[in-house]
C-alpha cells in the first residue's frame, strides 16, 4: 500500500488544520464526512477532496477510505472511533483520546479485536523537536532526570455557553489544554505513582485553571499548569543532574529548545524547520505503522493513551469535575 486514503470525520477548525497539513506532506484525503452534507461539500471543495458525505456513518463505510481522522469534540471520540473500527478502518483520534478511561479501554479492545490501528493524535509527540529531545534523553545527555515542568495557558473565553465551559460538551481546561503537559510529563518520566491536583472551577462546574504535581518512578517529580482564562508563557523544561532542556514557547508546537549545562553554557540549540502547522508528522507515522502491519506505536502506544485517560479521570475526581455522560 503506497499511500493510505484518509477520511476526515468532522469539518471544524482542527480538521481544517490537519487536512491542510496532509496536503503539505503529499498525503491523500479521499473523503470527508459531516452531519451536514452542505458542510462536507464545502470542505471537500476547499481542499480538493473527491468525496463528501452527509453523515459520519457514510464516511466510515466508504470503501475508498482506509483510515479515519476523528476530529469531533471529545465526548464523541469513542463513539466515532468504534464505528470506524467496526467498519474496518484504522483510526487517528484527536486528543484527548476519549472522554474517560473506560471509553479508551473500549476503543483499545475493539481495535485489538479487529486487528486495526488506533492512535491518539497527540501531534506534539511526533514533531521534530520532540524527536530530538527523545534522542537526547535516550543518550543520557541530561544525566538523571529530576523534574519536568510545563504549562498550557490561554485566554480563550469566559462565555458560559462556549463548549469549553460546558460540562455536557466535555468542557474544562484539563481535557482541552491540560492533556498536553500531562502527556508530556508522562512521556518523559513515565506514569505517575502519585497524583495531586488542584483547580479553580467556573460557575458552570468546568475547570478554568488546573495544576498538578506528579511523582514518578525513581522519585522524579513533575508539575503542570493549564488555564483557559489567562495566557501564560507556554514553555516547558526537563531538568537533569548534568543538564536541562528549556523548550521555548509555544512548546507543544514546532519550536526551538536549548540544552544548557549547570554552568549556564548552551550545549545545543535546536530550531524547528517545519512546513505547515506540523500535524502531518502524526499522519506520516500512522501510515508507516499500517504499512508495517503494526497496530500500536512505540512513540505513543495505545496502552499509554488509555493510562493517560485514567490519570485524567483521577485528576477530575480530585477536583470534583464529572461529566453528565459518565456512568
| Fold match, 5-121+279-296 / 128-273+308-319 | no
Tens digit of pLDDT for each residue in 80-110? 999 999 999 999 999 999 999 999 999 999 9
CATH code linked to domain 128-273+308-319: 3.30.360.10
Which residues lie closer than 8 Å to 194 by C-beta, 6 or more apart? 214, 215
- Ranges of the chain whose pLDDT falls below 50: none
Q: 151 burial class (0-12, 13-18, 19+ CB within 10 angstroms)?
A: buried
CA dist., res. 8 & res. 310, Å (int): 27
Which residues lie closer than 8 Å to 3 by C-beta, 6 or more apart? 27, 28, 287
Residue 268, strand partner residues: 259
Ranges of each domain in the chain: 5-121+279-296, 128-273+308-319
pLDDT for position 325: 79
Fold of 5-121+279-296: Rossmann fold (3.40.50)
Tens digit of pLDDT for each residue in 120-163? 999 999 999 999 999 999 999 999 999 999 999 999 999 999 99
pLDDT for position 188: 98
Return the axis-axis angle of helices 13-24 and 280-291, rounded to nearest 10°: 70
pLDDT for position 327: 61
User: The pTM is what?
Assistant: 0.96
Amino acid at each position: 500500500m503506497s499511500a493510505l486514503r484518509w477520511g476526515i470525520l468532522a469539518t471544524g477548525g482542527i480538521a481544517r488544520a490537519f487536512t491542510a497539513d496532509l496536503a503539505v506532506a503529499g498525503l491523500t484525503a479521499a473523503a470527508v464526512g459531516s452531519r451536514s452534507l452542505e458542510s462536507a461539500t464545502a470542505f471537500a471543495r476547499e481542499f480538493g477532496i473527491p468525496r463528501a458525505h452527509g453523515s459520519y456513518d457514510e464516511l466510515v463505510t466508504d470503501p475508498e477510505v482506509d483510515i479515519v481522522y476523528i476530529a469531533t469534540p471529545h465526548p464523541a471520540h469513542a463513539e466515532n472511533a468504534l464505528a470506524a473500527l467496526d467498519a474496518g478502518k484504522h483510526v487517528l483520534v484527536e486528543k484527548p483520546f476519549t472522554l474517560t478511561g473506560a471509553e479508551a479501554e473500549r476503543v483499545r479492545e475493539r481495535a485489538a479485536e479487529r486487528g486495526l490501528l488506533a492512535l491518539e493524535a497527540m501531534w506534539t509527540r511526533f514533531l521534530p523537536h520532540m524527536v530530538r529531545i527523545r534522542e537526547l534523553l535516550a543518550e543520557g545527555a541530561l544525566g538523571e532526570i529530576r523534574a519536568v515542568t510545563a504549562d498550557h495557558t490561554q485566554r480563550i473565553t469566559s462565555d458560559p455557553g462556549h463548549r469549553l465551559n460546558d460540562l455536557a460538551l466535555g468542557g474544562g481546561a484539563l481535557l482541552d489544554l491540560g492533556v498536553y503537559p500531562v502527556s508530556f510529563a508522562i512521556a518523559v518520566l513515565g506514569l505517575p505513582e502519585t497524583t495531586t491536583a488542584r483547580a479553580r472551577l467556573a460557575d458552570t462546574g468546568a475547570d478554568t485553571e488546573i495544576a498538578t504535581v506528579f511523582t514518578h518512578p525513581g522519585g522524579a517529580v513533575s508539575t503542570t499548569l493549564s488555564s483557559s482564562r489567562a495566557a501564560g508563557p507556554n514553555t516547558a523544561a526537563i531538568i537533569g543532574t548534568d543538564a536541562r532542556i528549556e523548550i521555548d514557547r509555544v512548546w507543544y508546537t514546532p519550536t526551538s529548545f536549548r540544552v544548557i549545562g549547570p554552568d549556564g553554557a548552551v550545549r545545543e540549540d535546536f530550531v524547528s524547520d517545519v512546513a505547515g502547522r506540523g500535524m502531518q508528522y502524526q499522519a506520516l507515522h500512522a501510515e508507516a505503522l499500517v504499512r508495517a502491519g503494526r497496530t500500536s506505536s512505540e512513540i505513543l502506544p495505545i496502552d499509554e493513551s488509555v493510562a493517560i485517560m485514567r490519570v485524567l479521570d483521577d485528576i477530575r475526581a480530585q477536583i470534583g469535575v464529572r461529566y453528565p455522560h459518565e456512568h
